[in-house]
A = this chain, B = another copy of it.
Amino acid sequence: MTANVLEPVVVREVGLRDGLQILPRTMPTEHKLQWVRAAHDAGLRELEVGSFVPTRLMPQLADTAEIVARALELPGLMVSVLVPNLKGAERAIDAGAHAMLLPLSASHAHSVANLRRTPDEAVDEIARMRDLRDARGSRCVIEVGMSTAFGCTIQGRVEPDEVLRLVDKAIAAGAERIGLADTVGYADPLAVSRLFTQARGVAGERLSCAHFHDTRGLGLANVFAAWQTGVRRFDACLGGLGGCPHAPGASGNVATEDVAYLFASMGVTTGLSFDRLIALRERLGRWLDGETLHGTLWRAGLPKTLRSAA
C-alpha cells in the first residue's frame, strides 16, 4: 500500500567485521567468501567485509585484502572496510575498497583507552587520511563512524554537544559520510530522535548511517526512531552477531534479518530476500557452531500478511 511512496532503505551487513572481530575463533576465508556471495544473493548491496588493522591485534581479520578483492567482483556491491589509521587507509586504497570507515569515539575516555588518541587527535588523523586518498588519486569514500555517541561504558554520559562538535569537525576534516553509532546499547529512541535531528542540522545529507546494538532490547526501536528523522542507511549483522564484551551473553548488533523485517512490515523497500537471509543465518550458525546467534524473526517467520509479498 505504502511501498510506492516511501523511500527505499539500505541495510549494510557489517557482520564480517563487527561480528567476527570479537569472536575468539577465526572464520576460514572460504566461509567468509561464501557469506559475501550469499549476502549479495540475498539482496545486500553494501558490505563491510573486514578491517585493515595490524594482524597481530586482530588475526580474525587478517584475510581482509583477499575478501575485498573477491567482493569487488560482485556486481553493484559497495565494499567497505574499517581503517583505524593512516597505514590502514593505505591498504584500503591499495585494495580498491569503495569506502573506508574511520572510527571516531565521542567519549574522550573511550577514545584514549581504545584508539590511543583523543577525539580531536582522531579527527586530525582523518584529515591526513583524506590527504593521502586525494594524493593517491583514489575515489575511496571517507565515512566516519562516531561511536559512543549515546554514552560510554567507561565515561558514562556523553554530551550531545560534544557529538555535534565532532560531527562538524569530522566533516571539515574530509568525512563524506558520517554515521552515529551506539555499540554499547545505551541509546534510547527519544535520544536517537533528538541527536539525529540535531546532527542532520550540522551534517545535512552527509549524515547517512545509523549503527545500533540491541544490548538492552532497544535496537529496533532506535532504528525506527532514526528512520523517522530521515536516516535511510543502517548497519546490521546477520544473526545479531557482535555482542558487547562488557555484557557477556547480551545481544549484539541489530540483526540484519530483523531490520529487513522491520522495514518490510512498514512497506519500506530494502531489496532483501527473507528466505535467503534466513537460509544464510542457518549456515552462519553452522560455521559458528557454539556461538549464540540473536535476533527474533527467525523463530516466528513472516506473518501471513507479508508471506505472499516476500
Contacts and interface: CB of A to CB of B under 8 A. Distances in A.
A137 B184 CA distance: 55
B305 A186 contact: yes
Contacts of A267: 190
Interface string A236-274: 000000001001011100010010011001110000000
A262 B303 contact: no
A300 B262 contact: no
B300 A261 contact: no
B299 A250 contact: yes
Interface string A206-233: 0000000011111011011100000000
Contacts of A258: 216-217
Interface in A112-136: none
Contacts of A247: 299-301
Contacts of A265: 188, 190-191, 216, 218
A82 to B, nearest CB: 24
15 contacts: A153-B304, A156-B304, A185-B300, A186-B304, A186-B305, A190-B267, A191-B265, A215-B296, A217-B295, A221-B223, A221-B224, A247-B300, A250-B299, A251-B296, A251-B300
Closest 8 CB pairs of A and B: A217-B296, A188-B265, A247-B300, A250-B300, A190-B266, A221-B221, A156-B304, A186-B303
